[in-house]
Structure 1
Amino acid sequence: MERRGISMRMSLLAVVLSFLAACASGPTPVPPEAPEASRRSSQVPTPAVPPDSSVAPVLSPVDSLLDEARVLREDGDLSASFARLERALRIAPQRAEVYLELARSHVAAGSPERASASATRGLLYCSPSICEELRRLIDP
């Protein structure tokens, strides 16, 4: 009876070891494509997207937030505009566009000091096209 238990344990150990050995070996390499398959795939034309396509470009989350903030500011909803800009700052604290829009919203809210501070911060990250706009908001 005891031999049977030892035999069962040895069999179980062999199964476990072979399973572990199979897991330890890497994946099997994929053979390269056959030449005729690559020739066929190169003959399939790639559909061209017309330049006047009605597909809208996908905006990044920060760009979407900036667009929303602009619209809200123009509509006079400054608290919602600031909320979008705070989210944009948390996502991309080094985007000059966020500081530019924040400065514009502070101007609209009647806070020129805050607008100047936001614009000054944006100068740390700006590109030449945005730097000029930020400088105009520092000392109006």
Structure 2
Amino acid sequence: MPELKPKYFRALLLALGLLFLGACASGPAPVSPEAPEANLPRSRVPTPTLPTDSTVSPAVSPVDSLLEEARAFREGGNLSASFARLERALRIAPQRAEVYLELARSHDAAGRPQRASASAERGLLYCSSSTCAALRKFIES
């Protein structure tokens, strides 16, 4: 049996890998419109109930939850817990101006005005009109 050179062996492995991925990528066969219904009688098939507008609560993003927690910890005097929440929020959403605003507030509460100003400057890169004014206050002070 002839020995395979490493160059050909890699090409063969690549071809087999692509062939395998191609086989996995195909989905299930499409269902024809004439497909039989479920074997349950119509009266037993549960119908989904949609919630009314009064029962739907707005979804809170993880970043918003972290910002609320950070604010509560800052107001309670636990600055280390506040900074921990804000670091997590920055990892999730590094382009949210609200995170930088809360970070500036926490640095200000910790007595670090230079860091508060630096955080506010970074937040200005991503701010909208509502947060821009609040961020500028940290830079101007």
User: Which bin holds the TM-score, normalised by the shorter protein?
Assistant: 0.5 to 0.7
Q: For 2:27 and 2:115, how far apart are their aligned partners in 1? A: 59
Measured against aligned partners, the alpha-carbon deviations of 1:70-122 in whole angstroms (never above 9, x if no partner) come to 00000000011001101111111111010000000011111111100000000
Could you list the runs of 5+ residues in structure 2 that have no partner in the other structure? 1-22, 36-46
Q: Distance in 2 between matches of 1:129 and 1:50?
A: 28
TM-score normalised to the size of structure 2?
0.67
Query: How far, CA to CA, are the matches of 1:75 and 1:50 in structure 2?
Result: 35
Aligned length in residues: 108
Identity %: 71
The question of 1:116 aligning with 2:114 is answered: no
Query: What is the CA-CA distance between 1:57 and the residue it aligns to?
Result: 2.8
Matches within 5 A, 1:1-140: 27-32=28-33, 47-51=50-54, 53=55, 56-140=57-141
SS in 2 for 1:81: helix
Paired residue secondary structure (2:33): coil
What's the RMSD between the two structures over aligned residues?
2.6
* 1:7 corresponds to: none
Shift of 1:56: 3.9
Structure 1 stretches of 5 or more lacking a match?
1-22, 35-43
Sort the Cα spacing of 1:28 and 1:127 in 2 relative to 1 into closer, same or farther, 3 A: same
